[in-house]
Chain A
Amino acid sequence: MTKVEPVTPVESAEPARAGRSRRRRIASLGVLVAALGTIATLYAGLAPAASSASNNDPAIQAGRQLFLQGCSTCHGLNAEGGARAPSLIGVGAAAVDFQVGTGRMPAQAHGPEMPRKRPVYDETQIQELATYVASLGAGPAIPTNLDYQSADVAYGGALFRTNCAQCHNFAGSGGALTYGKYAPSLSDATPRQIYEAMITGPENMPVFGDKQITPPEKLAIIDYVKTIKAEPNPGGAGLGRVGPVTETAVSWLVGIGGLVIITMWIGSKA
């Protein structure tokens, strides 16, 4: 994990401007080291299954087989990384579950960003892969407590707007980042994947350690994301929930466009 960014509220109107975020990145190196330490210890405690598994655990063996077939060309025979892909030692089970579960891995074309796809592996295979990678070094485990429905949704909304909206937009509809990267829509992510995204910080997304956003707060965020996704648009068609740009398109094409056609029709009757 090399791309930790601070979760302090961004005060500028433009999300993630390269220069500023670089400065912030340097400033937060200390935070990073501390966070990594915390995460490592925390998850060693949280994930006894992964860390106590011995090397001849059948799940690890099966996972290793899958890894050799599907992942090693890029990530190396022992997940040590290579020219084409980073090392996976210490990324933890959560990262594997997220990356493979969202279909991002195994990667295909190398664009600016790995898009979400249909997963290649089934649930057991993903578990095996995750167990294998987790056995290589301690990292965030797959979250088990996902009882988000009882969380405080309004608080989750406030946290979401402070920590996530600047990239994913106010309703989780996604948005552009710098250099061809984008924060995807959150509409397809499962609660577990949302949690995992926060603790592993895929690609340009920062890691949200448990110090910055506590586990109950994470559940509140998940609750908010899921609630507004399930909520119907009380005002009619949602127009993508991206703000005034689509409203503009509708007002031009349907509104004025329609009225101009009506004027032409009336004019032709005269």
Chain B
Amino acid sequence: MADAPKIEVSRRGFLKGAGVTAASTVIESAKAFGREANSALQSVPTVGPGPLPIKLHINGEEHIVTVEPRYTLAETLRDNLGLTGTKVVCDRGSCSACTVWIDKVPALACMTLSVDAVGREITTIEGLSHGDTMHPVQAAFVKHDAMQCGFCTPGMVMSCAALLERNPNPSLADVKHAVSGNLCRCGTYPKVFAATLDVAQHRVASGLVTLSAGREA
């Protein structure tokens, strides 16, 4: 982080330096948008606080959407793009209901600015299933009844599916750790654990994964 002091500005100030004229250019790469902000800081016109068009890669598709720099990814997904499977519960990073993947890593959409997601690969709950074919974790959630009201379920599924991507053979403790940030008021946890372990066991049993990956906990 050698250059850390140089970008020590407020988020909005940082955005101001991105070097794009609002509403005239679609911001479509991370590079264009601030990751070379150092030089831009000195001379370029302001972005925001008004709306600007950005390009997001979501579930394998490109979306151009006009948002204010302050919009969170959760807001853009839900309000601008109608991808309402991602839920907002606390809107401040304490419940994981809004979990999506950014570049395959679970991230909180309520704590991510939409503009920061430019140039990244975003996966939402809608991107996990294909037509009527559910992701194995989704199918296991249904099989094990790992849901009641279902409001936490998309976030739980995203956390559990990501766990299995990075650790195909997790222990119960690993699953608990993976969803330790996901709050469920209806108390579906035991069945969430069972569903996730079931997918792993099934994959191992059917030779879909090899057991080179170690357990996490």
> Do A and B form a real pair?
no
Interface set of B (CB-CB < 8 Å, partner A): none
Interface set of A (CB-CB < 8 Å, partner B): none
